[in-house]
Amino acid sequence: MLALIQRVRRASVTIDGSTVGAIGPGLLVLVCAEPDDSQTQATKLLSKILKLRIFSDTQGKMNRCVQDLDGAGRHGGLLIVSQFTLAADTSGGNRPSFTQAAAPELGRKLYDYLVQQARSAHSEVATGQFAADMQVELINDGPVTVPMRVI
C-alpha cells in the first residue's frame, strides 16, 4: 500500500459543499491500494502511521507520534482519504497511467478495512469518501510530508 502522510495543523474533506471529515492537529493520510495488497499490508501501514515520529518534542526534535500529541488521553487526529492517483506512472509520457492502483473493488475493501482498524486503535479518525470527487483543504505543519510504501 502507498500513503502520503502530511503533518497538519488542520485538514478537512468537502464533498458537494458539505464537510464530511475534519481534524485539528494530526495527520492527513492519503492512501492507495496496489493490486497485490491485502489486509496484511493495511495493518502494517496503520501500525507505521500511528508510530511515525514526526511531531516535535519539548526540545524541538521529531520524537513524538500522533498518539503522543495530548497527554490527557486524547490523540492527534487522523484524516484518511483514498487517493488512487498515488500509484500514477508517468514513465510513458505526460499522461499518467494508473494501472499500478488496485481495482476499485479491492481498493474500497482495503480502504474500509484500514479505516475500521484505525478507529479501533485511535481515538480521533475522520475520512473522506471512497471514489468521490473530494476537495481536501489543509494547513501543512512544517511543512512535513512523508511518502510511505508497505509491501
Domain that holds residue 56: 2-141
CATH number, domain of 9, equals: 3.50.80.10
Residues 6 or more apart in contact with residue 119 via CB below 8 angstroms: 125
Q: At what angle do helices 39-51 and 104-121 cross, to 10 degrees?
A: 40
Verify whether residue 130 is a known catalytic residue: no
Average pLDDT of span 19-42: 98
pLDDT at res. 150: 96
- 14 is a catalytic site residue: no
Query: Which of these is catalytic: 55, 84, 117, 127?
Result: 84
**Does a structural domain hold residue 149?**
no
85, 98, 116, 135: the catalytic one is: 85
Cell numbers for 48? 507505521
Q: How far is Cα 127 from Cα 10, in angstroms, rounded to an integer?
A: 13
Residues 98-119 have a mean pLDDT of: 97
Domain assignment of residue 69, yes or no: yes
Q: Is 85 a catalytic residue?
A: yes
Q: What is the pLDDT of residue 16?
A: 97
Tally of domains in the chain: 1
Does residue 75 carry a pLDDT above 80? no
Query: Does residue 131 fall inside a structural domain?
Result: yes
- Of the residues 6, 41, 83, 117, only one is catalytic, namely 83
- How would you classify residue 60: left for phi > 0, otherwise alpha for psi between -120 and 50, otherwise beta? left
Q: Is residue 147 part of a domain?
A: no
